[in-house]
């Protein structure tokens, strides 16, 4: 299974980016999917998740700034990020697992079997 992220880049604080994740020969939008991130020197942390029924979960630090969504026709998951802050600078990864619903453990890296290689986001002040 290959997951491929795109959409990262460099923006100024307050800017926006939309990340995408495509499943290569894998029906990513059928299953629980999530975005994680890892800032330099930090552990990988959960950002948001979306399940088969399009129910979403978000980390507290998102504070309404990010929106996770999916397009089943395109087999693509998105993370729309607005009001970006320098502390959002990180490598962003998409993850998935062959279960329909994410459940309470959606924010655990161990809950996902499949990972992309990441797309880098840099937010300057």
Copy the structure tokens of residue 54: 């399009």
| HEC profile of 50-78 | ECCCCCEEECHHHCCCEEEEEEHHHCEEE
| Residue 7 phi, psi dihedral angles, 5° rounding | 105, -5
Read off the pLDDT of each residue in 19-35 and give the average, rounded to a whole number.
93
Q: What is the pLDDT of residues 64-94, one digit of tens each?
A: 999 999 999 999 999 999 999 999 999 999 9
Specify the pLDDT at position 24: 85
């Amino acid at each position: 299974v290959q997951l491929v992220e795109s959409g990262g880049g460099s923006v100024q604080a307050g800017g926006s980016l939309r990340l995408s994740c495509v499943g290569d020969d894998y029906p990513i939008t059928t299953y629980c999917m999530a975005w994680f991130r890892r800032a330099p020197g930090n552990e990988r942390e959960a950002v948001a998740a979306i399940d088969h029924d399009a129910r979403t979960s978000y980390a507290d630090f998102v504070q309404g700034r990010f929106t996770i969504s999916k397009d089943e026709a395109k087999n693509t998951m998105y993370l729309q990020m607005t009001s970006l802050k320098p502390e959002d600078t990180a490598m962003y990864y998409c993850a998935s697992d062959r279960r329909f619903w994410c459940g309470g453990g959606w924010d655990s890296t161990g809950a996902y079997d499949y990972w992309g290689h990441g797309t880098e986001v840099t937010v300057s002040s």
